[in-house]
A and B are shown apart, each in its own frame.
Chain A
Amino acid sequence: MLNFTIRRLMFAIPTLLVISFIIFAILDLAPGDPTASLPMTVPPEVRAQIRSTLGLDEPFIIRYFLWLKQFMITEPLNLIESSFGITIGEGDRLRLTSWATRSPVVDLIAERMPQTLWVVGMSQIIAVLIAVPIGVISAYKQYSWIDQLGTLFSMIGFSVPTFFTGLLFIVIFSVNLGWFPSIYDTNHVVEDWDSFVFQIKQMIMPTMVLALFTAAQISRYMRASMLDNLNQDYVRTARAKGLKEQTVLLVHVLRNSMIPVVTVIALNIPTIFGGAIITEQIFRVNGIGQLLITGIVGADIPLVQTLTFIFAALIVLFNLIADILYGMLDPRIRYE
């Protein structure tokens, strides 16, 4: 298993390199000028100088490798330095900077990441907690009213886009009922019980919007997988042993049914980051989704390149995680 993981990680490197090249190349073609946002009064010579300090005079391929070096070597080194308080080498490296804000791209992302991770992470956990029971019960009581209800839930959950559920939530829970704030207060700090409750309250809506959307899909997979397994011979064997129905269902059938579902969940997580882009806009959460939109609108090419690459890396990573989980859950799979 360890061997397999290491080998898969090695394979991921060329994949990521190719992806990074494509992303860099495509975005490099986009019209964008780091000096475009400067006041008109800035003379052309100054603009030219700015461009050259950013390395924009270099040929395309040099700029690609520079970006790669900054992203893959400089920034990790900075991270190590700042977290251990040591200095490696000369310590002062040219960092990848945003054209719009002039601050290092990685710092911007690091600042925005926690909000997104919280919302996405919580939404995934809640989605699984909602979807698994729905799937299990729907399959066990196939065609019952509870199954029909589950089908309705997943149909609505999946077909209604998140921006619509988001707005609907705001109208119902913020405007009409006044339960939750409609705008996420990003400066809020949790320091006591009350502020913690407020934090939960402001997270509920963005989290639930994503959770419901994901739960709708997962519950379908769960139901299908359970149905598949309920008809298997081993279920009859388990019943013939005189096990409690609950044990048969929640130990024998569920364990087998989770194998494909866990894979789907893992593969789905990067997509949720995509979904977060929209929800973050609606609820004004200053996560990386919002950062990406700002970057695109402001033609902040380094920022967009880096974020896009991070999304791509997430997809590769979760593919790997899905494979590893599959091997862990199914003893018939052995990676040698």
Chain B
Amino acid sequence: MRDEIAPLLDVVDLHTVFQTRGGDVHAVNSVSFSVAPGELLGVVGESGSGKSVTMMSLMGLLPSSARVEAQAVNFEGRNIRDMSDDALRVLRGRDVGFVFQDPMTSLNPVFTVGYQLTEALRTHLGKSKKEARARAAEMLSLVGIPDAKARLNDYPHQFSGGMRQRVMIAMALACDPKLLIADEPTTALDVTIQAQILELVKGLRQKMGMGIVWITHDLGVVAGIADRVMVMYGGQIVEQAPVKELFANPQHPYTIALLETLPSLTGERPERLRSIDGQPPILGAKLTSCPFAARCRQVMDRCHRENPTRREVKAGHDVACWWDATQGGAA
């Protein structure tokens, strides 16, 4: 049972709604999950399924047009939702590291990489300028940037995309966070650099023992590094299971379809996730039916009337679907 160890992060019933000119967008709908210390949770789902928004909602990183509600977001047993802005700020920089999706735009173009790397160290760990720079150089060489000390004085535009992603990772790891949230850190990179970064993170995780949330399109990546996988669709979690279990015994028709797009479960690195027929749902209103119903092969009447709640298949494996994959009929 994974409940035995107190979770590092525990999210209960998270909802995020964007208020836009075209009406509300229900980007995250009743999401609950947890991450144990030292665990690597893979998050997969197609574009627009709410992966990034879920993670940013947790740490208050969304624009003001977003309304976030949650029963609880516990980090090491403390509810983030009850924290003051200052306490949350400290948590953000020191205990939780973020690597964002787009390395080309996520660094500030007018400050040197050294300045941007030392900022968090100086703010949260109270290091002097000199100590912070030493640590920053150490982090840069850790993520495999040669001649780190000299490169501290370079500006982001002097780094390639892959290098910038490494800088982002170094930045996220600088304060030794307990949790790293990496939002498609390798999607923008070419395959060899992707592999290098994966190895790097695997290594760092062992060395530092931090929990990791790894968002990706690429089930192949998930298979290689994750302990557990969470599949998202239409702003909700449709299935959640340990990685082996998910690949061996997928329950949700969406997960099954995803797995079918892989060339082979054990084979070489797959292509990026291929699309499944049909369009992702428009999240204009609260869901009253299953968001996947329109594209589902196993769709039943009930799917159009009620949004399925999550049920446990096995300990640690649950799914939100009216259809029972094991019996091949309604659950």
Contact = CB atoms under 8 A, between A and B. Distances in A.
B109 A331 contact: yes
A237 B100 contact: yes
Contacts of B105: 232-234
A234 B109 CA distance: 8
A329 B110 contact: yes
Contacts of A330: 109-110
B58 to A, nearest CB: 11
Interface in B33-61: 56, 59, 61
Contacts of A7: none
B93 A236 contact: no
Interface residues of B, number: 30
Contacts of B98: 237, 240
Nearest to B124: A242
Nearest to B89: A242
Given A233-B105, A234-B108, A237-B98, A242 B123 contact: yes
A237 B106 contact: yes
Interface in A239-257: 239-245, 247, 252, 255-256
Contact of B108 (A231, A242, A244, A256): A256
Contacts of A259: 110
B317 interface: no
Nearest to B95: A242
Contacts of A245: 85
Interface in B106-142: 106-111, 116, 119-120, 123-124
Contacts of A239: 61, 92
Contact of A240 (B92, B111, B123): B92
B109 A240 contact: no
Given A233-B105, A236-B106, A237-B106, A242 B111 contact: no
Contacts of B100: 233, 236-237, 240
Contacts of B120: 241-243
B155 A332 contact: yes
Nearest to B157: A332
Contacts, number: 76
A167 interface: no
B123 A241 contact: yes
Nearest to A237: B106
B90 to A, nearest CB: 6
Interface in B301-328: none
A238 B108 contact: yes
Contacts of A237: 98, 100, 106-108, 116, 168, 171
A313 B20 CA distance: 49
Nearest to A251: B111
Nearest to B107: A234
B61 A236 contact: yes
A243 B117 CA distance: 12
Interface in A201-247: 231-234, 236-245, 247
Interface in B74-111: 85, 89-94, 98, 100, 102, 105-111
A239 B93 CA distance: 8
A332 B109 contact: yes
Contacts of A233: 100, 102, 105-106
Contacts of B107: 234, 237
A329 B56 CA distance: 31
Nearest to A332: B157
A245 B168 CA distance: 20
A1 B119 CA distance: 29
A247 B124 CA distance: 14
A324 to B, nearest CB: 16
26 contacts: A232-B105, A233-B106, A236-B56, A236-B100, A237-B98, A237-B100, A237-B107, A237-B108, A238-B108, A238-B119, A239-B61, A239-B92, A240-B100, A241-B123, A242-B123, A243-B89, A243-B93, A243-B120, A247-B123, A252-B108, A252-B111, A255-B108, A256-B109, A256-B110, A329-B110, A330-B110
Interface of A: 231-234, 236-245, 247, 252, 255-256, 259, 329-332
Given A245-B85, A256-B110, 5 more contacts: A234-B105, A234-B107, A237-B108, A243-B123, A247-B123
In the A-B complex, list the 7 residue pairs whose CB atoms are closest, starting with the nearest. A242-B93, A240-B98, A233-B105, A242-B92, A234-B108, A241-B120, A331-B155
